[in-house]
Structure 1
Amino acid sequence: MSSSCEGKSSWPELVGVQGETAAATIERENPLVNAQIVQEGSSVILNFDCTRVWVWVNEDGAVTRVPRTG
């Protein structure tokens, strides 16, 4: 999907993990990105950015979508 971005770009194994843990894992596995935790239902900017990973979480703080660069 984001093959033009450097480093790991998708983390399907983090669905269900707590958001803070997922964000730390993402940034450790790809130091070129900034993982940003976002509550489900929130609005986010829609531009593509290789240095950004949205970490979508539910009301319990668990990751609900596969985090990806973009």
Structure 2
Amino acid sequence: MSGVCAGVGKSSWPELLGAKGEAAAAIISANNPTLRVQIIEEGMVVTQEFRCNRVRVWVNKFGIVTLVPRLG
């Protein structure tokens, strides 16, 4: 995705897999304050459009990150 979102910086955070969702969102926001970080619980319906300024942090019912957060 680096070509699509050139200049945004980091595009994924694999090191946050298994972390607490709130902590992961805070780390991503600190890394790049221009991003809109959303915590989404598994099973929730979301829009499918790709956005270079958005990161979705997918968490389970315990608030643990279950998918690698990435731009989109």
**TM-score (ref. length: structure 1):** 0.93
Aligned residues: 69
Distance of 1:18 and 1:46 partners within structure 2: 24
- Detail structure 1 runs of 4+ shifted over 6 Å in the superposition: none
- 5+ residue gaps, structure 2, are none
Greater displacement, 27-36 / 17-26:
27-36
- Within the alignment, does 1:42 sit opposite 2:52 as a pair? no
Give 1:34 shift.
Answer: 1.1
Contact 1:7–1:32 at 8 Å: present in 2 too? no
TM-score, normalising length: structure 2: 0.91
Q: Give 1 or 2 for the bigger CA radius of gyration.
A: 2
Q: CA deviation at 1:47?
A: 0.3
C-alpha separation in 2, matches of 1:18 and 1:29: 17
Between the two proteins, what is the percent identity of the paired residues? 57
Aligned to 2:26: 24
CA contact (8 A) 1:35 1:54 kept: yes
Unaligned 5+ segments in structure 1 are none
